[in-house]
Structure 1
Amino acid sequence: MNILIVDDDIVDREHIKRTLSKSDEKCHFTETESVDEGLAAFRAHKFDVILLDYRMPQRDGIEMLLELKNEPIEDSVAIIMLSNSEESNLALECLKGGAQDFLLKIEVTAARLNRAIVQAQTRFELERKLYQSYKNAKKVAEHDTLTGLANRYSFEETLKSNVNKSSRSKDSISLMLIDLDHFKYVNDTHGHDIGDLLLKEFATKISHCLRDSELFARIGGDEFAVILKNKNNNYLATKVSDRILTSLSTPFHINGIEIQMSVSIGISIYPDNTLNADELFKFSDIAMYRAKKLGRNQVCYFEDEMQKQFLLRYKKEQALANAIGNNQLLLHYQPILCTKKQTLVGFEALLRVDR
């Protein structure tokens, strides 16, 4: 058993080692005299238990206890607090701070200390299992079971949190609502099993268009949402929208069935459109339904001027892509003349579309 002893009193450390040496368990001890040394040892080695003195110079053991509490549960360890003080509230303070047990130094015997170690390790394992159960329950509560994306609850909580933070940082937020066009036809024609597989592949494809820091959520049957946070978010939203529409130009292949899928995207901007998270969602929803009304397979901003800018940019990019695909680009050379010398000094290269 690897044991870390954190105690500034060498006499107390020797007493603990002698006491544990009487047990059948083979123990390997690492000794430190301060909280900082104890933390360094903890991060450098793996221990089965930490015996931590409450009262030490510079920093008390409770400070180390609180720091260890912030470590990932996978890296943490069972902790027994030791003290000479008989204050009635001290043990409670240590247990609330994260210790699994508390012992008075004057009461330390081989049997008592061994029993405390066994109990502390057992409590710690129970805490670890409880935490894992909590994480599993949290994942179920916050993630969509079909796609593995964040669900509506997680999306709404994140949106509210981002809006509150952005009110202080002055960052902007773009909220994109994405709805699959005519998804009902897929379910009606091919069945819900194919529809579910399509939703999963759709989620994977769109995830590749996003950065890891951007929340992508499924908030309804065939409705998804993306939260983009950036200093220059208007441009970012346009860029991401372009990537999504381009990625969907390639059809899906589900169990041998080729399915061409398009989306309608609605975008609202914080703080340009509103300072309220609920209104931001409502405005994105309005913009998304406007995209559907205008013919689907397109993007609409809630703000008219933003919409004009996006359409202009998008039409140019689509026209250029079509021209490249149809081999319609022609290279022309326009001569550059020197008017004084009446001589040819160079050429300007021009790329034009052959219609």
Structure 2
Amino acid sequence: MRLLLVDDDELDRMAVVRVLQSPKLIKDIVHASTAVSALKLFEESTFDVVLLDYRLPDMECLDVLSKLTNHASKHAAVVILTGIADDEMIERDCIVAGAQDFLLKQELSQRHLTKALVHAQARHALNQQLMETYARLKFLAENDPMTGLSNRYSFEESLRTAILRAQRTESKVGLLFLDIDNFKLINDSLGHDVGDKLLQQVANILQTVIREGDIVCRLGGDEFAILVHDVEVETSIGILAQRIKDSLNNPITLSNTQHFISCSIGISTYPKCAQTAEDMLKHADLAMYHVKQLGRNGFHFFTEGLQERVMNKISLEQQLRSGTLQRQLLQYYQPVIDAKNFNICGAEMLLRWNHPTRGILAPIAFLDDVEELGFLSEIDSASRRSACQQLAAWRSNNIVDQDFCLAINAGEQSLKDESFQTSIKSDLDNAGLTGNCLSIEVTEGVLVSDFDKTSTILNKLKTFGVNVAIDDFGTGYSSMAYLKWLPASILKVDRSFVQNVPDSPPDCRVLKAIITLAKSLDLDVIVEGVETIEQARLCCQYGADMFQGYLFSKPLSPDDFANFVKNHHPGLFQASCNI
């Protein structure tokens, strides 16, 4: 045992040395006569026990005791030695301040002092073990074991503290919420070991990119967060986000193999975007998911518009689950015109939402969210069933003839529904209709999402006599492969190819090429978005088979559609188009 003996009275020090001469317990005794010299020796060397006199000429005992017991790296058991008469108050203060024992000089004996030093050292060693265990548990509680970064609990506490500090100093705080794009694919294809190593590399990269004092956290999975203190302008956070994005776009090498990743980053700031840590995290998360929806590999600041969209989506889901929205849906019908004689040859059924406060809403205002929430197949099915009944009623009342074809849109969720084909057959049978009076419209994006499965489903529909139309052609992949192999009989040219016709010669050439291509594949062509007689005339010249657009009619309610059919005069259009 190595002992530091601190006492300003040399005679007292010698008395202690004499008491400790015979035991082999003490290997070395170092003397100090002042608190300053003792602290200097303690800093420069290592001791097992410090025997500290209560009264020193240059510093209070409790102050010296505090410096010894709270030293950042040096640890030793401290025993207080005093010549003062037994004073329980002093003894209690010393023990509370960290002393392991309190001895009176007049009661010193070899057995007593040796026992006190051994017990003090043992108790101190036990305390050190407890402190080290606590430190390890604290680290585990506050840090992510895989990356060593702060975990969610610790990060949220740091964020709350940063907001409180920003309130006092009237400064700004930034939060970046980061998610690795398509990380599940990495785990599934390369294994979780590679995925974990990749996350460790990402953590290292993030720590090199941030400023000193800012905090990086792994929230869980492939999600990270960065706390930015003392933000001067929001553009500085945007610059940091761009730097992170660029750094993660560089290849990461693991076991001599390069891996390429990207990330989506959502950003929120205090006090502009949120007032609490919880809201900052929520808003940054919303902004990040907005980046995902835009195609990933970017960053976006939270805005009130994003919050409004989220609240609208929550309200929409509640209405869908209760069936309220479904009861407010209306079916409108837009006429399809035969290009040869300008007779009405069909119609496309289009949904409208009769919103209680916003009025009649077009599909663009709600249908994407309905699909994302998983209710589109259910709505498609109910709408198709109702539309078939409407067509049967029109035919029964001689509003339309037997050749009239009703077009209905089918989304990706409907095509994935195992009962899709049988439901259509059932809808036709229940309405007393044959398959040739129905056309199922499928967009290019839906086609290529699972080409083989979609092709199989549409081929089965063809056996019922149902027509298949490729909708919005030219806005998606426009692949010749699926045009050749799909059982489609109709191609619908998107309105974007018509809106600048005939004023734009390049647009005219593109439109003509699309129609010519479709005709070469024996497809009937419906041109959407025809709004002027000049556009109709040109489409006739290029070989289009049918028109659809506001030149003839906007989408109409069932009653208005019936009136439109009764009052339609093909001859007016024939004369204008020189037919």
Q: TM-score range by the shorter chain?
A: 0.7 to 0.9
Where 1:145 maps in the other structure, the secondary structure is coil
Cα offsets for 1:133-167 (capped at 9, x unmatched): 11221122112122222111111111112222232
Q: Which amino acid aligns with 2:202?
A: F
Cα offsets for 1:11-52 (capped at 9, x unmatched): 322221222223334553333333333222221322221111
- Relative distance call for 1:256 and 1:9 in structure 2 (3 A) is closer
1:99 corresponds in structure 2 to: 99
2:277 corresponds in structure 1 to: 277
- Relative distance call for 1:260 and 1:271 in structure 2 (3 A) is same
2:33 corresponds in structure 1 to: 33
Q: Which amino acid aligns with 2:301?
A: Y
Tell me how far 1:179 sits from its aligned partner: 0.8
- Relative distance call for 1:227 and 1:85 in structure 2 (3 A) is farther
1:196 corresponds in structure 2 to: 196
Tell me how far 1:58 sits from its aligned partner: 5.0
Larger Rg: 2
RMSD: 2.4
2:164 corresponds in structure 1 to: 164
Aligned mates of 1:205, 1:185 — CA distance in 2 = 21
Corresponding position: 1:206 with 2:210: no
Where 1:31 maps in the other structure, the secondary structure is strand
1:75 corresponds in structure 2 to: 74
Corresponding position: 1:61 with 2:61: yes
Identity over aligned residues, as a percent?
Answer: 36
- Relative distance call for 1:233 and 1:80 in structure 2 (3 A) is farther
- Relative distance call for 1:219 and 1:233 in structure 2 (3 A) is farther
The answer on whether the counterparts of 1:52 and 1:81 sit within 8 Å (CA) in structure 2 is yes
1:135-150 alignment runs, 5 A limit: 135-150=135-150
TM-score by length of 1: 0.78
1:86 corresponds in structure 2 to: 86
Aligned mates of 1:26, 1:202 — CA distance in 2 = 53
Tell me how far 1:212 sits from its aligned partner: 4.7
The answer on whether the counterparts of 1:173 and 1:230 sit within 8 Å (CA) in structure 2 is yes
TM-score by length of 2: 0.49
Tell me how far 1:178 sits from its aligned partner: 0.2
Tell me how far 1:278 sits from its aligned partner: 1.8
Tell me how far 1:90 sits from its aligned partner: 2.8
Aligned mates of 1:273, 1:256 — CA distance in 2 = 43
Aligned mates of 1:233, 1:90 — CA distance in 2 = 56
- Relative distance call for 1:256 and 1:81 in structure 2 (3 A) is same
- Relative distance call for 1:91 and 1:233 in structure 2 (3 A) is farther
1:114-133 alignment runs, 5 A limit: 114-133=114-133
Where 1:106 maps in the other structure, the secondary structure is helix
1:180 corresponds in structure 2 to: 180
- Relative distance call for 1:298 and 1:81 in structure 2 (3 A) is same
Tell me how far 1:109 sits from its aligned partner: 0.9
Q: Which amino acid aligns with 2:157?
A: E
State the number of aligned residues. Answer: 304
Deviates more, 1:25-34 or 1:58-67: 25-34
- Relative distance call for 1:4 and 1:297 in structure 2 (3 A) is same
1:292 corresponds in structure 2 to: 292
- The runs of 5 or more residues in structure 2 that have no matched partner are 306-579
Where 2:249 maps in the other structure, the secondary structure is coil
- The runs of 5 or more residues in structure 1 that have no matched partner are 306-355
Tell me how far 1:264 sits from its aligned partner: 0.8
Deviates more, 1:47-56 or 1:189-198: 189-198
- Relative distance call for 1:10 and 1:285 in structure 2 (3 A) is same
Deviates more, 1:174-183 or 1:56-65: 56-65
Q: Which amino acid aligns with 1:273?
A: C
